[in-house]
């Protein structure tokens, strides 16, 4: 039954920096906002562990919504409000200018990053803050600043203080080697979580950002062949806990909004069905009962329902299950294939893999009007995952015969490609906000 169901049918019969990814903006908004990020001053005797202003500049540029002024075209390089001359930036037609300085406090042994954002049209400072942190937190501080600036200018939350999990596969045609990785949303600090000679699929973040669930096919003691099992792995300690390893299919783990439960797919009773596990009591409850294939559960934002894929209507479509009443209702009707759905946190949109003819795209459905908008222009798109701000979607696709990740804005106006220097990349999952 096409790709998702084909995989199910097949199933039925820490950490070094290794997998770097980069971000290439392939489409930005035509009316990008002109901004300038002045290099932050630093008076220390040694080089900074991270160039904070460079990270902020890259964050804003890669969002696709801003046009950054090159440093060499800046008429002045102020770091304090007393030195800021509005006329300099009016001449270069900047709408907003960010300045900052970095000091080191010998008493607390922390860096202090002071930043200030100016609105040139209003002729005033609109945002100012001092953020302390240790050397290994400077990159986090930079992403925090990017989020604050993005939100102040656009009125929408940013998603720079996040991470992505993804799977890389090397030697695909000969001796595949699989690796589950985590990286900052900008591709920095990439590191592996798990390496295996057997497939790793379906990574899923807990909502506290501290754990990953995933499916691993690794062989366990006494087994000649690997078979799927669901694991939880703690990000900081590397501790692993196996939560489901029944005979047959164990797949598609999804955390509840409060992280107390997990939905996944089992074929323990002969047919792929949706189950919910209480992670504390270990109570397992079967939630669907149908002769069709039910798979790919995700939770509604209020935690009271599940969205899932089923071919009970004859082709893969999206359904909603009420956990209170067990009532199931069909959600998608347009297109002959809709799968791997996830709701935005505001409950407004459904993001999914959609096929109306012969091409698989990432699409959004407005749950109020039922209208579908195709967001991507590539084909063979799969595995969409929504950013916690609801504004961007990361997904897997093909580019020049290689598996790569791509990002598209929920309005379709901005797109980016994230190639890797290590093999095919697939199975992305966007984290919640990471606070260190």
CATH of residue 119: 3.40.50.10070
pLDDT for 428 equals: 96
Minimum mean pLDDT range among 17-26, 277-286, 317-326? 17-26
Res. 421 pLDDT band, cuts 50 70 90: confident
% of the chain at pLDDT higher than 70:
95
Res. 224 pLDDT band, cuts 50 70 90: low
pLDDT for 369 equals: 94
The structure tokens listed for 50 are 């991270």
The stretch 156-173 carries a mean pLDDT of 92
- Residue 412: pLDDT over 60: yes
pLDDT for 404 equals: 92
For residue 378, give the nearest of 353, 392, 399, 357 by alpha carbon.
Answer: 399
- Residue 84: pLDDT over 70: yes
Q: Are residues 271 and 371 part of one domain?
A: yes
Look over the chain and give the mean of its residue pLDDT values, rounded to a whole number: 91
DSSP 420: B
The structure tokens listed for 338 are 């809709």
For residue 266, give the nearest of 248, 279, 241, 240 by alpha carbon.
Answer: 248
Res. 418 pLDDT band, cuts 50 70 90: confident
The structure tokens listed for 152 are 């102040």
- Residue 85: pLDDT over 80: yes
Distance, C-alpha 297 to centroid of its chain: 17
Q: Are residues 245 and 227 part of one domain?
A: yes
How far is 410 from 392, CA to CA, in rounded Å? 5
Q: Are residues 324 and 175 part of one domain?
A: yes
Q: Is residue 260 part of a domain?
A: yes
pLDDT for 1 equals: 42
Q: Are residues 188 and 55 part of one domain?
A: no
φ, ψ at 58 (rounded to 5°): -65, -40
Q: Can you point out the beta strands (E) in 289-391?
A: 294-299, 305-310, 317-322, 328-330, 337-343, 349-355, 360-366, 372-374, 382-386
3-state helix, strand, coil in the chain (%, to 5): 10, 45, 45
Res. 174 pLDDT band, cuts 50 70 90: confident
Q: Are residues 204 and 317 part of one domain?
A: yes
Domain boundary among 154, 186, 202: 154
% of the chain at pLDDT higher than 90:
81
pLDDT for 373 equals: 96
How many domains does one find in the chain? Answer: 2
Minimum mean pLDDT range among 7-21, 68-82, 143-157, 356-370? 7-21
Q: Is residue 436 part of a domain?
A: no
Res. 281 pLDDT band, cuts 50 70 90: very high
Domain boundary among 126, 154, 182: 154
pLDDT for 243 equals: 96
The stretch 324-339 carries a mean pLDDT of 95
Residues spanned by the domain of 254: 2-23+163-430
pLDDT for 20 equals: 66
Q: pLDDT: is 66 or 377 the higher one? A: 66
Its sign, for the CA torsion 220, 249, 302, 289, is negative
Q: Are residues 251 and 393 part of one domain?
A: yes
How far is 354 from 315, CA to CA, in rounded Å? 12
Domain boundary among 154, 177, 206: 154
């Amino acid at each position: 039954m096409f790709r998702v169901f084909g995989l199910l049918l097949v199933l039925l019969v820490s950490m070094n920096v290794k997998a770097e990814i980069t971000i290439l903006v392939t489409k930005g908004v035509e009316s990008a906002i002109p901004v300038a990020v002045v290099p932050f001053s630093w008076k220390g005797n040694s080089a900074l562990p991270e160039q904070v202003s460079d990270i902020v500049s890259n964050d804003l540029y890669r969002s696709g919504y801003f046009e950054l002024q090159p440093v060499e075209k800046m008429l002045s390089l102020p770091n304090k409000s007393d030195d800021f001359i509005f006329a300099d930036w009016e001449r270069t037609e900047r709408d907003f200018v960010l300045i900052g300085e970095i000091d080191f406090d010998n008493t607390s042994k922390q860096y202090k990053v002071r930043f200030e954002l100016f609105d040139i049209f209003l002729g005033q400072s609109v945002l100012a803050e001092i953020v302390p942190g240790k050397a290994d937190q400077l990159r986090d501080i930079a992403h925090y600043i990017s989020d604050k600036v993005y939100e102040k200018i656009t009125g929408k939350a940013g998603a720079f203080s996040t991470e992505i999990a993804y799977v890389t596969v090397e030697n695909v045609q000969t001796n595949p080697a699989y690796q589950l990785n985590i990286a900052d949303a900008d591709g920095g600090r990439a590191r592996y979580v798990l390496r295996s000679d057997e497939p790793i699929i379906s990574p899923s973040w807990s909502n506290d950002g501290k754990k990953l669930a995933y499916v691993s096919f690794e062989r366990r003691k006494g087994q000649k062949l690997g078979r799927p099992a669901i694991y939880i792995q703690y990000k900081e300690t590397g501790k692993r806990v196996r939560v489901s390893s029944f005979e047959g299919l164990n797949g598609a783990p999804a955390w509840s909004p409060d992280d107390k439960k997990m939905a996944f797919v089992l074929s323990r009773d002969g047919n792929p069905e949706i189950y919910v596990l209480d992670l504390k009591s270990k109570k397992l409850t079967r939630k669907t009962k149908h002769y069709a294939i039910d798979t790919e559960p995700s939770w509604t934002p209020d935690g009271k329902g599940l969205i899932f894929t089923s071919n009970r209507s004859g082709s893969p479509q999206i359904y909603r299950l009420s956990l209170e009443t067990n009532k199931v209702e069909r959600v998608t009707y347009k297109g002959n294939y809709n799968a791997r759905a996830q709701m935005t946190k505001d409950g407004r949109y459904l993001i999914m893999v959609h096929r109306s003819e012969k091409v698989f795209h990432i699409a959004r459905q407005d749950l109020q009007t039922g209208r579908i908008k195709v967001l991507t222009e590539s084909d063979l798109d799969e595995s969409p995952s929504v950013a916690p701000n609801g504004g961007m979607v990361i997904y897997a696709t093909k580019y020049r015969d290689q598996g790569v990740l791509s990002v598209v804005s929920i309005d379709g106006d901005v797109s980016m490609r994230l190639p890797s220097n290590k093999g095919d990349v697939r199975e992305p999952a966007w984290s919640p906000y990471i606070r260190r």
